[in-house]
């Protein structure tokens, strides 16, 4: 059955709609007669006949009618808890299929039924919660709506001027207003009010409670307003609610000074969280600055600047030294020197010659370079990197999903515990009401799950950003967690463990080897067969001039023949020339030895006489053996799954030191992976279109950066540098990330457990509870930020 590609615009927003691709995949799984398939961004490929095409198109049309996809920029988020509150509020709307926020890119991706809910309904919910909202249309910002921020300044670092100014410039007054409405401004107001209250209390002690109460109100009012907004949209148990109840309770108990201190410390914590969160986002948002907004288009002798998004495939552009490439392209002039460190992590500039490829975002060095554009607008390498990072946050690690579920009932449960602490001792054991209510209020603050909730996404975001800077594109926390548990890594052969193109390795000639090679290359030069191209390439590398050939002809799959300088030259397989080869015992024995090594042997006949043989093989990558050794030291079993013949596979496996399963069709690879999964988590590494099903079936699929688009789409991880050395790095990165997450969870829960006990025994009070909660959140975030610096090499 041949593999068919159906190119179809199955969603207008298909470039970024991973949910739509998932839905199509699930429907196709139940379609009779469909053996295997891959749904990529622009195409559906399957193994089967054309008769199933109409059924696939019908499924796509049905999904398109029920699912409308929109992307928004959200301003004002300073921690993943803010993102979660927006997701939950939007999810409650009727007709919403999914609402997911990429905290790293501050984007809300919505998928909804337009007949049940409108974009205005979504806007009202988000702005009602106090966050700024900007619709993204064709990759650009539009229709800006702003509101006072929930817990941080609406002017976040990653926002563009369009998104924060609504088309007008900020004056001095607007800047002050923006500062005061943010978390730093709220902290400043509460701090000034507290200082004023302390000073006034020194001169008029009788009214000290009044002064401290006013100071408390200065910090409480913005928190109370956010609480009202949250409750209005179904967010009943957030930190804002807990702080509001605790502060009001403290004021009613006459603890005005403590209430004002608690609120001031809480706002300090909010400001610190925002700063830490912005730091965690920097690794991702810096990628957005790599792509130029304009390009220099070359048309004949004319040069003019055009918007980068207006470029089309085939356009010729110029890039000056110190500028970045606005699209993927092919080098047209001699020797372009490119710095690709921001894309691949490779610190040494690369020399690109004529017809070499170059990636969008690469920095041009030393001299003017000319390129022919090869990528559509919005679909260059940099766009794909950013899109993969954005989608990666949708693929949560299992531990993250567990913590989400845990926190959803943990806070209400703790509020119930606090209520019982407030009423049971006084009612049943004659406890003092004020003392136990005070302890209950302290428990409310301790029960805040912020540190626990942020423990996983902070670590994952930092790890993804650090990996992206190195050229390792990981599609989410789930892949990181699975990498940490990997037991087996399976490899494709061609283009993965090998260079992907055959090379001449041995030359055995009866007489003059150089002459035999010269005549052989003449016959082979007109062929596009990989073996023929390898012979020609080898001859040119040896500096041997290749003569012309006449009367050229080929016998498909067997031999090529031609007249070179009056001599009849034939080049073919050992089977085709078996009789001539057997006549020379020495060369025959050598040829058999080369075949045993997994090499392809080509026989050369000149004027009907055996001239010699050439041996060719797709050589293993230089780094392959060392990489496999590192993986084995990490406790990873390695195995090669190849469609090549068993003799070739066995020879390569013996050389590299790994188990081999050869002669496999794509469906055979699937069976092998399923069998390996029974023993533990399996990672599959490949690059070809035939590897796509195996990459999808494996627990983690890793695509080499030089592979096909379908393989890259099916994989969970892409190696942009196309380097095998990155595989041990990935394993270490996964283990390092999970270790960091475990540390964060232990820190968050441990501090809460300690202060829970000290509160019940009356050792700690409200202000210590705030310090514990804020301190835990900041410590967890700072611990996660270590992943931005630590290299797992």
Q: Torsion angle, CA of 491/494/496/501, rounded to 10 degrees? A: 170
Q: Is 106 left (phi over 0), alpha (psi -120 to 50) or beta?
A: left
Burial readout 563-588 (b: 16 or more C-beta within 10 A, e: otherwise) = bbeeeebbbbbbebbeebbeebeebb
Beta bridge partners of 704: 719
CA distance 271 to 274: 5
pLDDT of 74 reads 83
pLDDT of 784 reads 84
Using CB atoms within 10 A of its CB, is residue 746 exposed (0-12), middle (13-18) or buried (19+)?
exposed
pLDDT of 634 reads 94
CB atoms near residue 364 (< 10 Å): 23
What is the DSSP-derived secondary structure letter of residue 189?
H
SS (H, E, C) 762-774: CCCCHHHHHHHHH
Q: Is the pTM of this model over 0.85?
A: no
pLDDT of 532 reads 87
pLDDT of 711 reads 54
pLDDT of 556 reads 62
> Is 22 one of the annotated active-site residues of the chain?
no
pLDDT of 728 reads 94
Q: Which of 116, 151, 122, 152 is nearest to 134 (CA)?
A: 122
CA distance 387 to 105: 10
Beta bridge partners of 241: none
Q: Which of 19, 315, 492, 618 is catalytic?
A: 492
Contact between residue 491 and residue 641 where contact means Cβ atoms under 8 Å apart: yes
Contact between residue 354 and residue 374 where contact means Cβ atoms under 8 Å apart: no
pLDDT of 408 reads 65
CB atoms near residue 485 (< 10 Å): 13
pLDDT of 53 reads 79
Q: What is the mean pLDDT of each run of 10 residues along the chain (793 residues)?
A: 47 50 79 74 68 79 78 74 77 84 75 84 83 66 38 36 39 59 75 87 86 87 80 68 76 78 74 61 60 87 87 90 89 81 57 83 84 83 65 53 65 81 88 84 73 75 79 80 92 84 88 91 82 89 90 78 91 87 89 85 91 89 91 94 80 88 78 88 80 78 69 72 89 92 86 78 72 75 80 67
Query: In which residue are the tokens 């049940």 written?
Result: 116
């Amino acid at each position: 059955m041949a593999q068919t590609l159906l190119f179809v615009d199955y969603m207008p927003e298909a470039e970024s709609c991973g949910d739509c691709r998932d839905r199509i995949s699930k429907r196709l799984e139940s379609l009779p007669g469909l053996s295997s398939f891959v749904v990529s961004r622009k195409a559906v490929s399957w193994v089967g006949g054309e008769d199933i095409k109409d059924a696939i198109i019908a499924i796509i049309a049905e999904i398109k009618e029920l699912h409308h996809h929109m992307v928004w920029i959200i301003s004002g988020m300073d921690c993943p808890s803010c993102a979660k509150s927006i997701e939950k509020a939007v999810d409650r709307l009727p007709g919403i299929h999914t609402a997911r926020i990429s905290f790293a890119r501050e984007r809300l991706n919505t998928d909804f039924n337009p007949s049940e809910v409108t974009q205005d309904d979504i806007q009202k919910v988000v702005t009602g919660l106090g966050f700024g909202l900007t619709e993204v249309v064709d990759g650009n910002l539009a229709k800006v709506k702003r509101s006072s921020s929930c817990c941080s300044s609406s002017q976040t670092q990653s926002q563009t001027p369009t998104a924060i100014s609504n088309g007008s410039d900020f004056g001095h007054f607007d800047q002050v207003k923006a500062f005061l409405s943010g978390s730093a401004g709220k902290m400043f107001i509460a701090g000034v009010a507290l200082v004023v209250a302390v000073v006034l209390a020194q001169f008029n002690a009788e009214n000290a409670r009044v002064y401290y109460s006013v100071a408390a109100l200065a910090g409480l009012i913005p928190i109370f307003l956010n609480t009202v907004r949250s409750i209005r949209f179904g967010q009943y148990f957030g930190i804002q609610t807990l702080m509001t109840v605790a502060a009001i309770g403290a004021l009613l108990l006459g603890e005005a000074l403590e209430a004002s201190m608690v609120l001031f410390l809480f706002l300090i914590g909010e400001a610190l969280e925002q700063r830490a969160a912005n730091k965690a986002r920097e690794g991702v948002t810096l990628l957005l600055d790599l792509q130029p907004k304009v390009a220099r288009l070359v048309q004949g002798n004319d040069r003019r600047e055009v918007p980068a998004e207006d470029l089309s495939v085939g356009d010729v552009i110029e890039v000056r030294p110190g500028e970045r490439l606005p699209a993927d392209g092919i080098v047209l002039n001699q020797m372009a020197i490119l710095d690709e460190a921001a894309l691949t992590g490779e610190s040494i500039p690369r020399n690109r010659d004529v017809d070499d490829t170059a990636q969008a975002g690469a920095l041009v060095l030393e001299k003017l370079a000319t390129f022919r554009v090869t990528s559509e607008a919005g679909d260059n390498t940099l766009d794909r990197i950013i899109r993969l990072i954005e989608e990666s946050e949708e693929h949560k690690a299992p531990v993250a999903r567990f913590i989400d579920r845990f926190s959803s009932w943990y806070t209400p449960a703790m509020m119930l515990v606090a209520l019982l602490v407030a009423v049971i001792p006084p009612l049943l054991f004659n406890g003092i009401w004020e003392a136990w209510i005070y302890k209950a209020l302290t428990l409310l603050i301790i029960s805040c799950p912020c540190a626990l909730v942020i423990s996983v996404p902070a670590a994952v975001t930092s790890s993804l950003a650090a990996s992206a800077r190195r050229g390792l594109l990981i599609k989410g926390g789930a892949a990181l967690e699975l990498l940490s548990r990997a037991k087996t890594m399976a490899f494709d052969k061609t283009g993965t463990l090998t260079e992907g193109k055959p090379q001449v390795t041995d030359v055995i000639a009866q007489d003059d080897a150089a002459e035999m090679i010269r005549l052989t290359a003449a016959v082979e030069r007109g062929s596009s067969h990989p073996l023929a191209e390898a012979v020609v390439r080898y001859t040119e590398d040896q500096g041997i001039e290749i003569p012309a050939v006449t009367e050229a002809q080929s016998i498909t799959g067997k031999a090529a023949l031609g007249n070179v300088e009056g001599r009849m030259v034939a080049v073919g397989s050992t089977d085709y020339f078996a009789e001539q080869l057997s006549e020379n015992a020495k060369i025959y024995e050598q040829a058999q030895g080369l075949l045993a090594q997994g090499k392809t042997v080509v026989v050369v006949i000149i004027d009907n006489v055996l001239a010699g043989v050439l041996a060719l093989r797709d050589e293993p990558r230089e780094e392959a053996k060392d990489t496999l050794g590192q993986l084995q030291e990490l406790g990873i079993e390695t195995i090669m799954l190849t469609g090549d013949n068993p003799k070739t596979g066995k020879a390569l496996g013996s050389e590299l030191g790994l188990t081999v399963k050869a002669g496999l069709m794509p469906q055979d690879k699937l069976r092998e992976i399923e069998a390996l999964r029974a023993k533990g988590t399996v990672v599959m590494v490949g690059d070809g279109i035939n590897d796509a099903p195996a990459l999808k079936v494996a627990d983690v699929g890793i695509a080499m950066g030089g592979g096909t688009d379908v393989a890259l789409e099916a994989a969970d991880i892409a190696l942009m540098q196309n380097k095998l050395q990155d595989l041990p790095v990935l394993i270490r990165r996964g283990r390092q990330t999970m270790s960091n997450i475990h540390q964060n969870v232990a820190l968050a829960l441990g501090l809460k457990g300690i202060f829970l006990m000290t509160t019940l025994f009356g050792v700690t009070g409200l202000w210590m509870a705030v310090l514990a909660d804020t301190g835990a959140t900041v410590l967890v975030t700072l611990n996660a930020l270590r992943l931005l610096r630590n290299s797992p090499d």
